[in-house]
Amino acid sequence: ALGEFRQLGDDRAIAATLREMGRAEKMQGNLAEATRLYEQALAIFRQVADPISVAWALRALAGIERRCGRLSQAQDLAEQAIENLRPVGNREELVQLLLEAGRIAVLADDHDRARTHLGEAMALADDLGDREGADMAREELTKLCPASPRA
């Protein structure tokens, strides 16, 4: 399919195919290959000015960096994704990006950033009626502020 899309010059289809190939590699644990494919997709998504797909690719790359323990790079990618998506107004995807950025900040012991992102994710998820997203944000927030023991 990728070859056909290249022959047709369909950049969006090429990028979407690369994204799906990256997802498959990630699921198989091939993070280096997944990163390579996601980066190729990201470059094309930027070229065709698709901010939602740019944000998705950045979030996927941030997740890989997080899994590899490269928290500074992961945070940078997550912040770029949020910046790309905010003007578009896709609030459902923004919840997911804020959750990812919050998780990264928790792992990096950046509690202020974690509270900011997770608090925004929770409020936005609540506003959207996204119970699962709100619960995920609350769960991550408890890692910052564990409940005090009861007497």
* Mean pLDDT across 126-141: 95
In angstroms, rounded to a whole number, what is the distance separating the alpha carbons of residues 123 and 41?
A: 31
| 42 within 8 A of 5, measured Cβ to Cβ | no
pLDDT at 145 over 70: no
pLDDT at 15 over 70: yes
pLDDT at 32 over 80: yes
Q: Residue 149's pLDDT band (boundaries 50, 70, 90)? A: very low
Residues 6+ apart with CB under 8 A from 84: 51, 54, 55, 58
Q: Residue 4's pLDDT band (boundaries 50, 70, 90)? A: confident
Average pLDDT, the chain: 91
pLDDT at 147 over 60: no
* Mean pLDDT across 138-151: 70
In angstroms, rounded to a whole number, what is the distance separating the alpha carbons of residues 140 and 125?
A: 14
pLDDT, tens digit, for every residue of 34-70?
999 999 999 999 999 999 999 999 999 999 999 999 9
pTM of the predicted protein model: 0.85
* Mean pLDDT across 65-89: 95
Q: Give alpha helix (H) positions in the chain.
A: 2-8, 11-27, 31-47, 51-67, 71-85, 91-107, 111-128, 131-144
